[in-house]
């Protein structure tokens, strides 16, 4: 069925003014110029995205209200596998849950065509709870993250602002500390957590963007940036294709140069998805050590010899500035 969907997509776009790439092939994709790109569909398949697809007024209005439909799922060591749903403006949903105001808060946000129950969320939640007695809040925005890519991009500010409003309400209602809050987002979700941090005045002590989405984000004022939290870092693994390559954070990590192909990967979707894999591993093992680079040319050429900084992990006191390169293995724990 997936093959038929892709085939129909190719036939449909062939009638347009540009020739789409062969199924799954992004070798000719040029960031900021190409019209078509294959992206992961969240179910181990690929979807052809027309970056110039028209968006109706109704879809725009819906995207601008998308944050109202966010769902917030709490996991703790007392309920590591079955979530408890927290509802904004419903104090009983919090007071009746396992939420602990004196514990760290880690917020996890998925990307395009994904959902709260994705494997990435399960993997990172498990890793975080293995090393910290914390509140892990998974954000499900699957409704707005599905469908036309351009519409999902337009929904990101509202989804992020809704998350920011929820976190502000949560801390005011049930307690908690911005200095114990870590927001983590993948792909489009990286820009969501950026908008959430901005909504709260940059108060979360740490934000991590896992290969922040690239298509339609160059020069986009709603993209994740270094002012969205006290300390903001990005992990770039598919820069120039699905992800942004240019530095956008206080610290930008470039595993294996930050581009496709990551070790053990044959397609861009693997390289893009390597960022959450590396982050999950870093939380459990904290073994990734980057070397500071003077510029992106040193990143590309693996010529970085500056100071060291650990990539990822769960350290809320982590600080740094600059570009950092490291090399990893091809399989877990990399």
Q: Give the model confidence (pLDDT) of 125-171 as tens digits.
A: 999 999 999 999 999 999 999 988 999 999 999 999 999 999 999 99
Name the DSSP class of 288. Answer: -
Q: What is the pLDDT along the chain (334 residues), one digit of tens a residue?
A: 333 334 334 333 333 346 677 766 777 788 778 898 887 765 566 778 888 888 888 888 989 999 999 999 999 999 999 999 999 999 999 999 999 999 999 999 999 999 999 999 999 999 999 999 999 999 999 999 998 899 999 999 999 999 999 999 999 999 999 999 999 999 999 999 999 999 999 999 999 999 999 999 999 999 999 999 999 999 999 999 999 999 999 999 999 999 999 999 998 889 999 999 999 999 999 999 999 999 999 999 999 999 999 999 999 999 999 999 999 999 999 9
Residue 11 lies in a domain: no
- Whether the Cβ atoms of residue 315 and residue 220 lie closer than 8 Å to each other: no
Strands (E), 192-250: 206-210, 231-235
Residue 154 lies in a domain: yes
Residue 195 lies in a domain: yes
Residue 90 lies in a domain: yes
- Whether the Cβ atoms of residue 36 and residue 52 lie closer than 8 Å to each other: no
To 5 degrees, how large is the angle CA 136–CA 139–CA 141? 170
Residue 15 lies in a domain: no
How many Å apart are CA 294 and CA 278, to the nearest integer? 23
Q: What's the number of domains the chain is made of?
A: 1
Residue 49 lies in a domain: no
Residue 304 lies in a domain: yes
CATH of the domain at 169: 3.40.50.1820
Residue 157 lies in a domain: yes
Phi and psi torsions of 94, nearest 5°: -90, -50
- The helix-helix angle for 149-174 and 57-64 (nearest 10°) equals 20
Domain range spanning residue 197? 69-326
């Amino acid at each position: 069925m997936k093959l038929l969907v892709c085939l129909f997509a190719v036939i449909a776009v062939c009638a347009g003014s540009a020739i789409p790439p062969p199924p799954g092939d992004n070798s000719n994709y040029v960031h900021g110029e190409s019209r078509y790109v294959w992206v992961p569909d969240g179910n181990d398949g690929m979807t052809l995205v027309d970056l110039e697809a028209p968006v109706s007024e109704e879809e725009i209005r819906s995207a601008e209200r998308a944050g109202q439909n966010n769902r917030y799922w709490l996991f703790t060591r007392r309920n590591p596998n079955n979530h408890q749903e927290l509802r904004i403006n419903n104090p009983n949903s919090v007071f009746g849950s396992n939420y602990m105001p004196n514990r760290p808060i880690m917020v996890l946000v998925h990307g395009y065509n994904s959902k709260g129950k994705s494997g990435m969320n399960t993997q990172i939640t498990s890793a975080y709870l293995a090393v910290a007695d914390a509140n892990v809040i998974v954000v499900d925005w699957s409704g707005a993250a599905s469908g036309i890519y351009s519409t999902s991009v337009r929904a990101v500010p509202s989804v992020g602002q809704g998350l920011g409003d929820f976190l502000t309400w949560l801390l005011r209602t049930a307690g908690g500390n911005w200095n114990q809050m870590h927001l983590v987002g993948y792909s489009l979700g990286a820009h969501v957590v950026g908008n959430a941090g901005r909504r709260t005045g940059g108060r979360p002590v740490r934000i991590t963007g896992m290969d922040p989405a690239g298509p339609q984000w160059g020069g986009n004022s709603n993209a994740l940036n270094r002012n969205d939290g006290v300390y903001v870092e990005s992990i770039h693994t598919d820069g120039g294709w699905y992800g942004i390559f240019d530095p956008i954070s206080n610290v930008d990590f470039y595993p294996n140069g930050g581009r496709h192909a990551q070790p053990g990967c044959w397609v861009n979707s693997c390289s893009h998805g390597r960022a959450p894999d590396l982050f999950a591993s870093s939380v459990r093992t904290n073994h990734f050590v980057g070397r500071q680079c003077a510029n992106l040319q040193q990143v590309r050429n693996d010529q970085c010899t500056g100071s060291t900084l650990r990539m990822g992990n769960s350290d809320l006191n982590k600080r740094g500035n600059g570009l950092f390169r490291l090399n990893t293995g091809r399989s877990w724990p990399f």
